[in-house]
Amino acid sequence: MTNIRAATVEDLLGMQNCNLMNLPENYQMKYYIYHALSWPQLSYVAEDHKGRIVGYVLAKMEEDPGEVPHGHITSLSVMRNWRRLGIAEKLMKQSQLAMVEVFNAQYVSLHVRQSNRAALQLYRDTLGFTVHEVEKKYYADGEDAYAMRRTFAKQADKESSSTEEKSESLSKSLSTSH
C-alpha cells in the first residue's frame, strides 16, 4: 500500500534518489529545492508503508508574461517494483488538481522522450494529454521530445463558476479519466 501526499523539503533526497535510479534526466538538489520553495503545493510523493519514497511528481507553474497560467510537469518517476499500480496516475492527478485549485491553471504541459512508450501510453491514453509539437534534439543525447499538453479550459474558463465548482468539476474529470 502506498500513501500519496504533498512533498516536503525533507522528501527531496528521496525524490532525487528515485530520479537517479530511474531516469536519464537528472537534476541537482538546488533544482528540487527551487521547486519545493516556489510551488510547494504542486509536487507530490508516493511512500511505502515504511515511509520510503517510491515515486514522485515534480511540478511548477510556468511564468511567461502575457500567457495564460499553466503548469508544467518537470519530472515523474516511480521505482520499478512499484510500477503498474496506478501510482504515476495518482501523482499526476493530484498535481494537476492543485494547479487548477491554487493557480487557476488553464492547461498542463510536459516533455517526454519519443522512445518512452510506457510514459506515452500513460500521458496520452490514461491521462488525456495530446502532442502539441515535436521538439527536435530536446534531450542531451539528441533524442527528440514530444511536447504534450492537457487542457483544463472546460473547467477553468467558466468565469461565472465559483472556485469550489471549478475544483469539483475538475476533480470529477480527473477521477473519471481512464
| Position 65 confidence tier, pLDDT thresholds 50, 70, 90 | confident
pLDDT attached to residue 171: 56
Cite the beta strand spans of 21-69 per DSSP E.
Answer: 44-47, 53-62
- Domain ranges, ordered by start, for the chain: 3-176
Q: What is the pLDDT of residues 105-117, one digit of tens each?
A: 999 999 999 999 9
pLDDT attached to residue 155: 47
Q: What is the pLDDT of residues 120-170, one digit of tens each?
A: 999 999 999 999 999 999 998 999 999 999 999 654 444 445 555 545 555
What CA–CA distances, in Å, run from 143 to 76, 93, 112, 116, 135?
Answer: 18, 27, 10, 11, 9
One CATH from 3.90.1150.10, 3.40.50.1010, 3.10.129.10, 3.40.630.30 for 3-176: 3.40.630.30
pLDDT attached to residue 63: 81
Residue 60 has pLDDT above 80, yes or no: yes
Q: State how far the Cα of 65 lies from the Cα of 79, in Å rounded to an integer.
A: 36
Q: What is the pLDDT of residues 31-57, one digit of tens each?
A: 999 999 999 999 999 999 999 999 999
